[in-house]
Structure 1
Amino acid sequence: MTRLPRWVPQHFAAVRALLVLTAVTGVLYPLAVLAAAQLPGLNDKAEGSLLHDGDGAVVGSSLIGQSFTDDEGAALPGYFQSRPSIAAGDGGDYDPTASGASNFGPENVVDALPDPGLGWEGDEDAAKSLLTQVCERSYEIGEREGVDGSRPYCAESGDGAVGAVLGVFRSGGVTGEATRAVSLNEACGSVEAPFLAEYEGVPVECAEYGEDYAKAVVTPVEGDAGEPEVPADAVTASGSGLDPHISPAYAGLQVDRVAAERGAGAREVAALVEEHTTGRFLGFMGEPAVNVLELNLALDEAYPLS
């Protein structure tokens, strides 16, 4: 009797294992997970945690944030505002297919100034630093909510705010007396005068586009701003850019504006905020948070805009 080569039964065993594992992991396991996902209490999460308006139409997911702005990007005054979402989608529109962070770190404090003939919108090489973005948002939110939008290392400049950062030239390179100081985030022609008149006895200059300031010591200026009234989550995006939550502090900052716009009492609106505030996971992990989309849906139901 002729015996089959040793490799033949080995290959048959491999094929059988492939078929069995394909059936178990590719068919039976997914079907079991699908069946479990239909159980009460799990089916909503399995379908994407979808939220519906009063007419039953799907308006979003409780897991993904949304922007409550008009076509020009201005905040709608009758709605609570979400966190920034700069890196998620074009212009920060909470695009779940473009989730990501800016990857800017705390040392990202110097703007890449635009060509004066092109401006910020026209110069693709121009970019605002993380610090300047935070400063701009803080002052904008402060103006919108009627509070002080100043914060350390930020300075009012022109019609907005910039990171208060100097490029200081010193006699010994990185040490010694200051011989020259330049406001790195304020381009000449965009401001009447730098945010600081002088530094260590040296007049502060505006920044000339195209000039090399690489030999200057980058020096952030703290200023005299105290504890910021605008919370950190109001001016910074989450790691994914999709976070649907804001802090209770940021929600509380917006109560008066939303209540006035909807003709409701501030106490009633604050009570809705409290209803939609979740505590720490297991009582000690994370921070309390407010789901903005769920809160705004509750507002539309309780106090519809006229």
Structure 2
Amino acid sequence: MPAPRQGRQLLAAVRAVVLATVALGLVYPLLMTGIAQVIAPSKADGSLVTSADGTVVGSSLLGQGFLDGSGDPLPEYFQSRPSAGDWDGAASGGSNLGPNSTELADTIAERRTEVAAFNGVPEADVPADAVTASASGLDPDISPEYAAIQVQRVATARGVSADEVAALVDTATAGRDLGVIGAPSVDVLELNLALDEQLG
């Protein structure tokens, strides 16, 4: 093949790479971001959640821990699912331990004992999502069953009735999508914000 022809092909290939890089790496993302900002600005900005005073306290899409400075769970708040990455979005992921892992079995047993003791319930009443992390480690929701075993503990810590706390749990509970898809869930951040705003 003559050298000039090779040069033309190389130049065409470089142009194609540059064009694809500009179109797919710059123009397309900017276009999609602009459309998202117009159609759904809240979601485009990360589905941020603010408290009553306007402070950003998290995202409706990401779970977080409700812990004190020592890393211990705060009794006045509902607790999220465990997280293999400590609810760090940059470290999203599971433990990668399989069902035959003795380490996983031991971790679950330890968590079950801790959750039962913290909430003052029998270990048999501790649901699966209280002791297992989600695949992402960032699931913002818990099951109504996990919320239910936390009601009395939260009510006692806040000096209010369990019925008042249970009513807020009901408000923060979402049903199945279209009535049949998925499972009912409780938004932990929404629930804890409601606790602060309504029950102090």
Q: TM-score range by the shorter chain?
A: 0.7 to 0.9
Q: AA paired with 2:27?
A: L
After TM superposition, give the deviation of residue 39 of structure 1 in Å: 1.9
Distance 1:72 1:7, change over 3 A: closer
Other-structure match for 1:65: 63
Residue from 96, 101, 108 that aligns with 1:134? 108
After TM superposition, give the deviation of residue 105 of structure 1 in Å: 2.2
Q: TM-score, normalised by structure 2?
A: 0.87
Residue from 166, 172, 175 that aligns with 1:270? 166
Structure number with the higher strand fraction is: 1
Q: AA paired with 1:263?
A: G
5 Å-filtered alignment, 1:60-209, equals: 60-85=58-83, 87-88=84-85, 93-109=86-102, 129-149=103-123
Alpha-carbon RMSD: 2.2
Other-structure match for 2:185: 289
Other-structure match for 1:252: 148
After TM superposition, give the deviation of residue 47 of structure 1 in Å: 1.0
After TM superposition, give the deviation of residue 276 of structure 1 in Å: 1.5
Q: Secondary structure at the match of 1:51?
A: strand
After TM superposition, give the deviation of residue 33 of structure 1 in Å: 0.5
Q: AA paired with 1:108?
A: S
Q: AA paired with 2:47?
A: S
After TM superposition, give the deviation of residue 10 of structure 1 in Å: 4.0
Other-structure match for 1:183: none
Other-structure match for 2:176: 280
Structure-2 separation of matches of 1:76 and 1:137: 16
Can you list the C-alpha shifts for 1:211-254, whole angstroms capped at 9, x where unaligned? xxxxxxxxxxxxxxxxx211011111112222111111000111
Can you list the C-alpha shifts for 1:179-238, whole angstroms capped at 9, x where unaligned? xxxxxxxxxxxxxxxxxxxxxxxxxxxxxxxxxxxxxxxxxxxxxxxxx21101111111
After TM superposition, give the deviation of residue 77 of structure 1 in Å: 1.1
Structure number with the higher helix fraction is: 2
Structure-1 separation of matches of 2:182 and 2:152: 27
After TM superposition, give the deviation of residue 104 of structure 1 in Å: 2.0
Unmatched 5+ stretches in structure 2: none
Other-structure match for 2:137: 241
Unmatched 5+ stretches in structure 1: 110-128, 150-227
- Structure whose alpha-carbon radius of gyration is higher: 1
Q: Secondary structure at the match of 1:39?
A: helix
Structure-1 separation of matches of 2:137 and 2:18: 42
Identity %: 55
Distance 1:103 1:25, change over 3 A: closer
Bigger drift between 98-107 and 21-30 goes to: 21-30
Can you list the C-alpha shifts for 1:16-55, whole angstroms capped at 9, x where unaligned? 5445434432333222101111124x11111111111222
Q: TM-score, normalised by structure 1?
A: 0.59
